[in-house]
Amino acid sequence: MLTIALAKGRMQDAALGLLKRAGIRVSDEALASRRLAIEDESGRYRFIFVKPADVPVYVEHGIADCGVVGRDVLLEAGADLLQPLDLGINRCRIAVAALSEARKNDSGMLHVATKYPRVAAAHFGARGVPVEIIELSGSVELAPVLGLADCIVDLVETGRTLKENGLAVVETITESTGRLVVNRASYQLKAAEVSELIEKLSKAVAEERAKA
C-alpha cells in the first residue's frame, strides 16, 4: 500500500479530482467523514489529509511515500524530496504586492509581511534590498493596510483578495502549481507502485490539459 499525503484546503478538491481521473477513487462517505486517514476503494492507497506545510514533513520522514502539494510550499520548506510530476492544478504565483497608493517609508528598511519568510528573504537578498521579514500565518493582505508592513510576499491566484484590500502586484517572484512529491527511499523500495502512480497521474494530467 502507498500512503499519500494530501494538502488540505484549496488544493484538496483538485487533487482528488485528478486522482479520480487516474482511476483512484475515494468513497463520498469516507470524504464526508472527519477521518484524516482514509483508503481508496481499491485498498491500494491510503490518503492522509494534512496542512499544506506538513505535506513535505510527512513525506521527507517517510511516513507518507508520496504527497500532493503546491510548489510554493515546497520552495518554502526546502525539503529533500523527489518531484517527478507537475500536476498542473491550482496554478498561481508568489508575488510581491503593496498598496496601490504606496505610502512612503523613510526608514530605508523595507518591512515585508509574509507566510513565506524563506522565499521572501531569498528574493530580496538576491537583489541586495535590506528587508525586515515579518512572519504571519494568514490574512497577510491586512499588514500593509494596517501599517504593519510596506509590502507582502504572498500567493496570488485570482487576484481578488489583493484587489478587494486595495493592493496590487509589484512583481511576480515565481509561478506555482500542485506537484507530486515522493520520498527518496520509497522511490527505490516501492519502485513498481510509485512508477504506476506516476504513470496514472501523468495520463490524467495530459487528459486534463487536452480538455482545457
Q: Cell 537578498: give the residue.
A: 125
146 is an interface residue for ligand PRP by CB under 6 A: no
* Residues sharing a CB contact under 8 Å with residue 47, sequence separation 6 or more, in sequence order: 3, 4, 5, 6, 26, 37, 38, 39, 40
Toward ligand PRP, which CB reaches closer, 158 or 188? Answer: 158
158 is an interface residue for ligand PRP by CB under 6 A: yes
138 is an interface residue for ligand PRP by CB under 6 A: yes
| Nearest alpha-carbon partner for 24 in 4, 12, 41, 46 | 41
Count the site residues for ligand PRP by CB under 6 A.
Answer: 14
93 is an interface residue for ligand PRP by CB under 6 A: no
- 55 sits in which H/E element: helix 55-60
Q: In the set 2, 59, 156, 167, which binds ligand PRP (CB under 6 A)? A: 156
159 is an interface residue for ligand PRP by CB under 6 A: yes
Contact 68, 6 (CB under 8 A): yes
Toward ligand PRP, which CB reaches closer, 20 or 51? Answer: 51
C-alpha cell at 138: 494568514
Q: Which stretch binds ligand PRP (CB under 6 A): 127-135, 138-146, 170-178, 190-198?
A: 138-146
Q: Which stretch binds ligand PRP (CB under 6 A): 30-38, 93-101, 127-135, 151-159?
A: 151-159
157 is an interface residue for ligand PRP by CB under 6 A: yes
- Minimum CB separation of residue 133 from ligand PRP in Å reads 16
- The secondary structure of residue 62, as a DSSP letter, is T
174 is an interface residue for ligand PRP by CB under 6 A: no
- Partnered with residue 82 across adjacent β-strands are 182
Report CA-CA distances (Å) from 165 to 17, 97, 141, 144, 204.
31, 11, 7, 10, 37
Chain residues in the site for ligand PRP (CB under 6 A): 10, 115, 138-141, 154-161
